[in-house]
Amino acid sequence: MTYVVTDNCIKCKYMDCVEVCPVDCFYEGENMLVIHPDECIDCGVCEPECPAEAIKPDTEGDLESWLKLNADYAKTWPNITQKKDAPSDAKQWDGVSGKLEAHFSPNPGSGD
Ligand code: SF4
Ligand code: SF4
């Protein structure tokens, strides 16, 4: 198994998760992060750190498409290990539904 980043990270991207990961397996897109499923050691430390509750264990069910998205973009987006400032409008987007369809960006972030 692995942990995966899901919809509510999009445009929230608070980044509290990256600093606690013992194996630095977060990768940064323009407006969300993903976890590399082959690098994640399933420790679960990041899950309660996410203020947006966007991180889930892939055993939770119905997360296959998110697992694929995490795996695909972890290959091309840059690694991120240090927290940056959240977007100024992050609070406004927290909890908005359907962000994948409307707001997901395949562009990479800037990484560390
Ligand atoms: S803490 Fe949650 S919302 Fe913030 S970047 Fe990490 S997964 Fe995304
Ligand atoms: S579960 Fe552990 S290893 Fe996996 S992304 Fe979260 S903090 Fe990193």
CATH of residue 23's domain is: 3.30.70.20
- Ligand 2 atom 2: residue of nearest CA: 43
User: Does 94 fall in a domain?
Assistant: no
How does residue 41 score in pLDDT terms, banded at 50, 70 and 90?
A: very high
pTM for the full model? 0.96
User: Does 35 fall in a domain?
Assistant: yes
State the ligand closest to the CA atom of 26. Answer: 2
- Ligand 2 atom 4: residue of nearest CA: 40
Domain extent, residue 36, equals 3-80
pLDDT at 97 over 90: yes
User: Does 70 fall in a domain?
Assistant: yes
How far is it, in rounded angstroms, from Cα 9 to Cα 31? 8
- Label residue 84 exposed, middle or buried (CB < 10 Å: 0-12, 13-18, 19+): middle
The total of structural domains in the chain comes to 1
Residue with tokens 């290959």: 75
Region 7-16: mean pLDDT is 95
User: Does 13 fall in a domain?
Assistant: yes
User: Does 19 fall in a domain?
Assistant: yes
Helix, strand, coil content of the chain in percent (nearest 5)? 30, 15, 60
Percentage of the residues of the chain whose pLDDT score is greater than 90: 98
CA 51–ligand 1 middle distance (angstroms): 7
User: Does 95 fall in a domain?
Assistant: no
